[in-house]
A = this chain, B = another copy of it.
Amino acid sequence: MTDDRKMNGAESLVRSLSMGGVEVCFANPGTSEMQFVDALDRTRLMRCVLGLFEGVVSGAADGYARMAGKPAVTLLHLAPGLANAGANLHNARKARVPMLNLVGNHALRHLRYDAPLTADVEGAAAVFSDWVRTAETAGTIARDAIEGLAAAKGHPGRIATLIAPADIGWDEGGRISPPLPPQGPQPLDPQVIRSAVSALGPGTLILCGGTVLEDPDATRLLAGIARQTGAQLMAPNSTRRIERGAGRADIPRIPYPIDMALGRLSGFRRAILIEAQAPVAFFAYPDRPSLLLPQACEVIQLAGFDQDGRAAVEALADAIGARAIRPKDAPRPEAPQAGPLSDGPLSAAIASALPEGAIIVDESLTSGGEVEGLTAGAPPHSWLALTGGAIGIGPPLSIGAAIACPDRPVVALQADGSAMYTIQALWTQAREQLNITTVIFANKSYDLLKQELFNVGANPGPDALNMLDLRRPDLDFVALARGMGVPAARVECAAELHRILSAAIHEPGPFLIEAVL
């Protein structure tokens, strides 16, 4: 029996998490985590993936969770390492994915002396975690980790962070802790179901997120409900994963730009929310509302984030006798002719190159153009979006998705400015030889912010434009990729983009295409 062996706290933790189903550790360890590195090394129970920066680690764990449907463990170094992971922890938390972070801290006896790396690890953890605990003894750290794992795996998924003082990792007396069942979804309210059923009809929005969008059967059932009642289906803009493409219901996302979003939602008189919240603008603007639905719109929260959205869809369907339908597929786009990379040809080049089973990681922001629309008729694929608005998610999210699904190609649609926040991810893509093809939309500016500057009524002069401009010097993504071991090409023609992207998708290992807009 493993629990009769003598082992230190770190080993008991690794063995217990492995028994709890954790298979991957994304790591950027430091001195205070060396005992965990040692335990991972001796037990060989997990695949260990190194990131050169902690934002790569947390973003990869998010991508893994979105596609594997279960958590990875991350290994992070003290408060500064946790802070570096923070932006993508934020995105993961808003995605409600399961994740367990293991963060080292100084040995308890060392904390009082204000060593250089001493800082408030608990405080840093609390900002971006749903569950935080500091381990206290070698004999209980595995139990702490298993409780954190169960918290992470609940419905919805949570970010759990366990802080591990170094001495608790290396002290003997570790004890294996068996898996704990996660908290399942809360029951639906029959009265709310009845209200939702009576609200179905023309002028009604069904806004669905979370597990519903990950299940093609659920969305086909929704399509049947919509056809029978005249209700319309939409998804939140910030959605962790949508299963879409040919043979699946096409559920459009609410657009990001405030005026487009208000326009799309202006006609609804009733909204039924399923694992989604009432849609809210990304930001407040001087003369715009925060809430995007019309003021008079009646809102019914059929299923909250902690309830079972698929059961809610089934309840609606049962009540009205609706059946799943396979909607008519959107036309499959054709490969574009030779010509510059304007919106249409660029999008067609990408959409026409997608094979069945592709995973699209979308951090294209302003440059995504018509890709989302044109891929509605592409072969079935998964679509992962930026969830928390913290840019720099794409390159690491791709890593995690590729590790969760080694047989599926990842196509990352990546804004150039955002890519630079976690550009180090390319190195991990190369080291792990992941089949990720990144298309950099090189518009050479923070275009989103230029739009936002106009939205707050400014008339930008040279200093403002300078702060939103990525030229002087131009970023050379081909050189950056090669510097991290990723082969790359620069493309200015739509037909060439199609050709190179198609080839890269079918080749193993990563590739980067700088699409010059």
- A-to-B contact residues, CB < 8 Å: 27, 29-32, 34-35, 37-38, 40-42, 44, 48, 50, 52-53, 55, 79-81, 83-84, 86-87, 90-91, 94, 106-107, 109-110, 113-117, 119-120, 123-124, 126-128, 166-167, 170, 237-238, 277-278, 280-284, 286, 290-291, 387-390, 392, 417, 420-421, 423-424, 427, 430-431, 448-449, 452-453, 455-458, 460-464, 466-468, 470, 472-480, 482-485
The answer on a CB contact under 8 Å between A283 and B460 is: no
Q: A115-B281, A456-B34, A473-B430 are in contact. Are A84 and B421 (CB under 8 A)?
A: yes
The answer on a CB contact under 8 Å between A463 and B83 is: no
Q: How far is the CA of A84 from the CA of B84 in the complex (A)?
A: 5
Residue on B nearest A37 in the bound complex, by CB: B464
The answer on a CB contact under 8 Å between B83 and A128 is: yes
Contacts of A84 in B (CB 8 A): 55, 83-84, 86-87, 392, 421
Give 25 A-B contacts (CB < 8 Å), ordered by A residue: A32-B283, A37-B449, A37-B463, A38-B456, A41-B462, A41-B464, A48-B467, A52-B417, A53-B420, A79-B86, A79-B127, A90-B119, A106-B283, A110-B280, A110-B283, A115-B281, A119-B388, A123-B123, A124-B127, A423-B424, A476-B483, A476-B485, A479-B479, A480-B483, A483-B483
Q: 5 new A-B pairs (CB below 8 Å) besides A34-B456, A476-B484, A480-B484?
A: A34-B453, A41-B463, A80-B388, A115-B290, A476-B483
Q: How far is the CA of A368 from the CA of B80 in the complex (A)?
A: 23
CB distance from A118 to the nearest CB of B (A): 9
The answer on a CB contact under 8 Å between A29 and B128 is: no
Complex A-B, nearest 3 residue pairs according to Cβ-Cβ distance, in ascending order: A473-B485, A83-B86, A479-B483
Residue on B nearest A278 in the bound complex, by CB: B113
Contacts of A124 in B (CB 8 A): 86, 127
Q: How far is the CA of A161 from the CA of B219 in the complex (A)?
A: 46
The answer on a CB contact under 8 Å between B110 and A290 is: yes
Q: Looking at the complex, which one of B284, B452, B483 makes contact with A167 (CB distance below 8 Å)? A: B284
The answer on a CB contact under 8 Å between A30 and B449 is: yes
Q: How far is the CA of A392 from the CA of B390 in the complex (A)?
A: 21
CB distance from A294 to the nearest CB of B (A): 16
Residue on B nearest A424 in the bound complex, by CB: B420
